[in-house]
Chains A and B, each alone.
Chain A
Amino acid sequence: DQQVKQNSPSLSVQEGRISILNCDYTNSMFDYFLWYKKYPAEGPTFLISISSIKDKNEDGRFTVFLNKSAKHLSLHIVPSQPGDSAVYFCAAKAGAQKLVFGQGTRLTINP
């Protein structure tokens, strides 16, 4: 039972344009959501998070949007840079419960 889903395994974006990565979840108890970035043969690094009491959180070029009614969150990266090329995982948790990860989306930024 995949509680966190990233339906796009890959995404290709032109440098300077906006990258939008999507994530859907099924568990209505999730109250905290995170995005991680992962390079090959490395562990994930934390990017940005949002709690369920908010619908938007911004940090520099990265913005996360949360639509609780649709059980959907998205990560916007603007402008996209070549160094943003990586696999992005969304993750969710309910209270003190464990993190549940999506399958990841490979983002490629083309020069």
Chain B
Amino acid sequence: GAVVSQHPSWVICKSGTSVKIECRSLDFQATTMFWYRQFPKQSLMLMATSNEGSKATYEQGVEKDKFLINHASLTLSTLTVTSAHPEDSSFYICSALSGAGYSRRQFFGPGTRLTVL
């Protein structure tokens, strides 16, 4: 099956710093990637849809200036958490769409655990 990687798998940073998380589709090209956030014992909440070569579409309540998304190529999307604060601590998961038409399927990365001190 299609493989999606994320880097780093975990990161600890000081409050006020910025953190970049990479999401790569390893064996397929993805024009569309998604960024999710999961709090403990809660559902995956979609943050934004990342489209290659265009601006990301953010979900309601997600600050686009705080969570910067860049989908510069068909295999790479990045999420930058700017001026991180402890409340940004969470598990961030990306996914990439593979296939076409009705057979399109989302493949998820392994996630990135962010802890802001």
Contact = CB atoms under 8 A, between A and B. Distances in A.
B108 A99 contact: no
B95 interface: yes
A41 B42 contact: no
A103 B42 contact: yes
Interface in A43-89: 43-46, 89
Interface of A: 9, 36, 41-46, 89, 98-99, 101-104
Interface in B79-117: 91, 93-95, 105-111, 113
Interface of B: 1, 4, 6, 9, 34, 41-46, 49, 91, 93-95, 105-111, 113
B95 A43 contact: yes
Contact of A98 (B6, B46, B110): B46
A101 B93 CA distance: 13
Given A9-B41, A98-B34, A43 B109 contact: yes
Contact of B43 (A45, A98, A102): A102
A44 B108 contact: yes
A102 to B, nearest CB: 6
A45 B45 CA distance: 16
A103 to B, nearest CB: 5
Nearest to A102: B43
17 contacts: A9-B41, A43-B6, A43-B94, A43-B95, A43-B111, A44-B44, A44-B93, A45-B108, A46-B105, A89-B43, A98-B34, A99-B106, A101-B43, A101-B45, A103-B41, A104-B41, A104-B42
